[in-house]
Amino acid sequence: MTDTSTRTGPADWATDQEVRWCPGCGDYSILTAMRMLMPELDVDREKTVFVSGIGCAARFPYYMNTYGMHGIHGRAPAIASGLAMARPDLDIWVIGGDGDMLSIGGNHLIHALRRNVNLKVLMFNNMIYGLTKGQFSPTSETGKVTKSSPMGSLDHPFNPISIALGAEATFVARTHDMDRKHMMETFRRAHEHKGASFVEVFQNCNVFNDGAWEGITKKQNRDANLIQLHHGQPIKFGAEGEFGVIIDNGSAKVVSVSDVAESSLLVHDENKEDPSTAFMLSRLARGPFEPTPVGIFRAVERTEYAASATQQLAVAQDQKGPGDLAAILRSRGTWTV
């Protein structure tokens, strides 16, 4: 088969299925970013698979003209792990919401990440259960009033980036649905990475949690509250780059650059083996109302799982020769009557 990717455009990656998200939903812009990115990547549609769980976000595979599986709630990382093991030649994306990946599927997510299975995991975080019509999710803020928490939710929220780093994911990034270019760049990097990539996408659910990310993602708030992480550069933000991030007493802190020496600013190193600094960065903001880093937190190399599994098959063949059924049936000793 010739490589068709160079000749495709975004439309070739779209299916004929009607997209059924609510008008104005942030999922649309993520889909557009993905469809625009795909022709730029050196991949074939038939070698690409989108696997998802259940939720609004998880409808994604139906809209990509690739192979796809809309699975069951929370289990997409596990389904995709089996697929990746059986078919290391495929390019597999895993899509799900914050409930899908951190609530019912939290276990599968962390295990896929720690094993470093070659999957690109995108978690659309709208801090709410969209598909089931608006209950609080594991990323909703404490006190969130929803139909299932009329007096405010009691749950302390998860920080997805902290979780991924805690699971020692080898690629951890964050982007948001208001910035297509940033999404495309982040997805591109996730795709380049060998092993498991985890990308949190801030996504607006305009029906059940409208404006949840506005405090940081709205155009006029971005300068003050979005911190772009650039590898090898001091972490600075603000309209004039007047703010910066330092590490002080074991945590990341926002400072005015004028108050500190430029040299004391934290220089971002996404390749740092030790995830501690990345973790500190992930703790910088307590919620979407104060300066929040986006970009790549961590990108390190570690042996990829399915490749290692394939390697073991080769070693076994070297050691024992190709499987011989007649021989295996006789391996425990035989006698003749």
Ligand X SMILES: Cc1ncc(C[n+]2csc(CCOP(=O)(O)OP(=O)(O)O)c2C)c(N)n1
Binding mask 207-226 for ligand SF4 (x = CB under 6 A): xx------------------
What's the DSSP call for residue 100?
I
Mark the segment that binds Mg ion (CB under 5 A) among 44-52, 96-104, 194-202, 253-261. Answer: 96-104
Buried b (16+ CB within 10 A) or exposed e, 70-90: bbbbbbbbbbbbebbbeebeb
Contact 126, 99 (CB under 8 A): no
Contact map string, positions 53 to 72, toward ligand SF4, x by CB under 6 A: ---x----------------
Contact letters for ligand SF4, residues 232-271 (x by CB under 6 A): ----------------------------------------
Nearer to Mg ion, 105 or 275 (CB): 105
Q: Which is nearer to ligand X, 102 or 227 (CB)?
A: 102
Nearer to ligand SF4, 207 or 247 (CB): 207
Verify binding: residue 98, ligand X, rule CB under 6 A: yes
Owner of token pair 């749950």: 155
* CA-to-CA separations, 246 to 162, 228, 235, in angstroms, rounded: 18, 15, 8
Instruction: Output phi, psi for 207, to 5 deg.
Output: -95, -45
Angle value at C-alpha 103, between 165 and 291, nearest 5 degrees? 50
In the stretch 113-142, what mask flags binding to ligand SF4 with x, by CB under 6 A?
A: -------------x---x------------
- Specify whether the CB–CB gap between 261 and 185 falls below 8 A: no
Residues that bind ligand X (CB under 6 A): 54-57, 73, 96-100, 124, 126, 128-132, 137
